[in-house]
Structure 1
């Protein structure tokens, strides 16, 4: 009987100390930030404000882009693309300028390419770029695949990579719940930037 008693005593000692060991080695993570399933984002240095859908079903974020062209710059692959504001008329205006009159043009290094499998349609290869943006008053950077989202309600989709890297949780019942706003430009201010081109 003694060997059985000794074995039980050792198991008891192990289980009584195991939680204490776990507590000393476990890192304390900050509380995640809660966001709604739709929030405003301001893209990079342009000051353009867009609606973004936060989607846990997508790993990589995506950005509305048309006329996507690959080119070489300093022996590296770059991509040039346009973001027509007429496709999503969310930019505040303070005059008579129409959204269709402003198109933003971007040039970014190609970070990677992805092959997107589509149901009932041929697979599509998309360019992925890294871009800075602001949400909830805080700057962020993530990967964006470039695709024509003109027929979608939201020109920006933020995926799981952004949520994981920046410790974000989504409340699917709410939208526009972040308190801090990011600085953005009016339509007229955007039209005056060097990146704005007439269609």
Structure 2
């Protein structure tokens, strides 16, 4: 039988306590400082430089993005989805020249993260595709999951839910909007259309 002296036990306990405290300190240092944003903010979808108004909704878990003509397809043995963002449905994008929002529809493709079944009151349940996308808000780039759905009848084409807020330590001031102190770079309608057309021609 092996015995440990009281002094040795105390030293071992102190050593373990030091490890635990150190680990907790490292974990806390990696967490983002909380940032307070308004219940409505500008977001810029990073892959398109498209600027849209977003509502920060603590009542929704998953974020959602306005999209139409959502179609699944197979790519390299994995499920992908193609979808369109018609800018005529939400005319917040800055303009330049004579180009009209109705003339611009962005076409995107993304791998499917998962699907969700949405139960709707007085209407059949709806299955939605969920994709992962990068976006900029308050001058900082984030990545979260977006369910793709037609939000043409809603005021805001983007809804940011609790999953994004939790992962990035975001607080929401429900009494005010556009509190972000920093802006994200974006393109005008003309620049956006030219960039998108160039990508289409490359294909």
Alignment TM class, shorter chain as reference: 0.7 to 0.9
User: Which residue of 127, 140, 145 corresponds with 1:138?
Assistant: 140
1:32-181 correspondence to structure 2 within 5 Å: 32-181=34-183
In structure 2, distance between residues paired with 1:46 and 1:63:
14
In structure 2, distance between residues paired with 1:32 and 1:179:
14
In structure 2, the gaps of 5 or more residues are 1-20
Report how many aligned residue pairs link the two structures.
Answer: 176
Superposed displacement of residue 194, structure 1: 3.2
In structure 1, distance between residues paired with 2:194 and 2:52:
18
Superposed displacement of residue 45, structure 1: 1.9
TM-score, normalised relative to structure 2: 0.82
Superposed displacement of residue 80, structure 1: 0.1
Superposed displacement of residue 99, structure 1: 0.2
In structure 2, distance between residues paired with 1:48 and 1:176:
17
Which stretch has the larger CA shift, 30-39 or 71-80? 30-39
SS in 2 for 1:81: strand
Superposed displacement of residue 117, structure 1: 0.7
In structure 1, distance between residues paired with 2:176 and 2:42:
13
Superposed displacement of residue 31, structure 1: 3.6
In structure 1, the gaps of 5 or more residues are 1-23
Q: Find runs of 4+ consecutive structure 1 residues off by over 2 angstroms.
A: 24-31, 194-197
Superposed displacement of residue 73, structure 1: 0.4
Task: Provide closer, same or farther for how the CA distance between residues 79 and 30 of structure 1 changes in structure 2, counting only shifts above 3 A.
Answer: closer
